[in-house]
């Protein structure tokens, strides 16, 4: 069936980029059986719409053989938003820009969000659809040929990055399975609070531009102990704040970064300033009942 659809592709305008999901499903077949996931079913319904559309209007010549580019443009996308420009055949320039919603920004993969679900290639694909939608709303495009420029380097890098991130997730999953689920959930919660804490100080969560990372993590632990950023919003015991800082430090180590609690000049040993602060907390805490 996939071969038949491929042979019909030249006559189905707009179907060029709709074969990836079907090809991927075919590679995952078991005993010559292909699993029809909701995504695959939706893709087949899209092809059905393409085929029904052929009976409603004739296919123009330029849909089969591209003609001279009547409208020329370019578009791009990044975490902050997407935009583009069109130069139409009558000499007009159409410029557009649209920011992404916060929910989308939080899912974009970056050095500080390795578990995101969206790459820059995903954003650029969406911007391409919107780019042509803008043109269709402002110029005559039916039966005409258009040209859009892209930055392809990022696409190649994102493809390699996605493969690398899959391996990283596999490592993270293996590490997580070494502890109980409640401990994993708490570690994720602590890291989310750490990121928000760093954002409030306009700092990179990786502390790459900080001269004294120890001061930042001790400040984080102090605010957690006082209840300012702790989930309970109440003062907690020193051991609880210590465990919170330990989880942040372990997250740094899992990313190949230096644990900010450690002495930079004596690897493997806690900085004495942090050790003294922890001792003072334990002295302040009342004896356990």
Q: Is residue 183's pLDDT more than 70?
A: no
Contact 226, 235 (CB under 8 A): yes
Query: What are the phi and psi torsion angles at 112 (to 5°)?
Result: -105, 5
For residues 212-239, average pLDDT: 91
pLDDT score, position 156: 45
Amino acid 144: pLDDT? 73
CA distances from 278 to 32, 54, 207 (A): 62, 73, 22
Q: What is the mean pLDDT of residues 248-276?
A: 84
What are the chain's domains? 2-54 (no CATH), 66-151 (3.10.20), 179-284 (no CATH)
Tell me if the pTM is above 0.75.
Answer: no
pLDDT reported for residue 32:
76
pLDDT digits (tens, 9 = 90+) for 17-37: 677 777 777 777 777 787 888
Q: Going by C-beta distance under 8 Å and a sequence separation of 6 or more, which residues neighbour residue 145? A: 62, 66, 67, 68, 69, 70
For 115-156, write each residue's pLDDT tens digit: 778 888 788 888 888 998 888 888 877 767 777 876 654 444
């Amino acid at each position: 069936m996939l071969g038949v659809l491929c042979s019909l592709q030249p006559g189905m305008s707009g179907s060029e980029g709709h074969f990836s999901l079907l090809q991927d499903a075919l590679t995952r077949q078991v005993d010559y059986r292909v699993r029809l996931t909701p995504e695959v079913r939706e893709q087949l319904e899209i092809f059905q719409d393409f085929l029904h559309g052929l009976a409603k209007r004739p296919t123009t010549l330029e849909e089969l053989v591209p003609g001279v580019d009547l409208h020329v443009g370019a578009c791009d996308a990044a975490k902050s938003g997407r935009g583009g420009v069109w130069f139409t055949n009558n000499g007009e320039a159409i410029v557009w820009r649209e920011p992404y919603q916060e929910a989308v920004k939080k899912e974009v993969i970056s050095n500080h969000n390795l578990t995101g679900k969206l790459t820059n290639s995903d954003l650029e694909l969406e911007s391409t659809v919107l780019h042509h939608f803008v043109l269709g709303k402002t110029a005559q495009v039916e039966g005409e040929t258009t040209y859009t420029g892209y930055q392809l380097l990022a696409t190649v890098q994102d493809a390699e990055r996605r493969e690398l991130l899959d391996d990283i997730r596999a490592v993270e999953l293996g590490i997580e399975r070494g502890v109980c689920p409640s401990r994993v959930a708490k570690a994720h919660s602590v890291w989310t609070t750490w990121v928000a804490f760093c954002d409030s100080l306009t700092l990179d969560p990786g502390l790459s531009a900080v001269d004294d990372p120890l001061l930042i993590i001790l400040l984080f632990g102090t605010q957690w102990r006082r209840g300012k950023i702790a989930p309970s919003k109440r003062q907690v015991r020193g051991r609880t704040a210590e465990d919170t800082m330990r989880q942040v430090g372990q997250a740094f180590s899992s990313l190949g970064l230096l644990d900010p609690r450690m002495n930079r000049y004596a690897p493997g040993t806690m900085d004495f300033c942090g050790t003294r602060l922890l001792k003072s907390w334990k002295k302040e805490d009342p004896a356990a009942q």
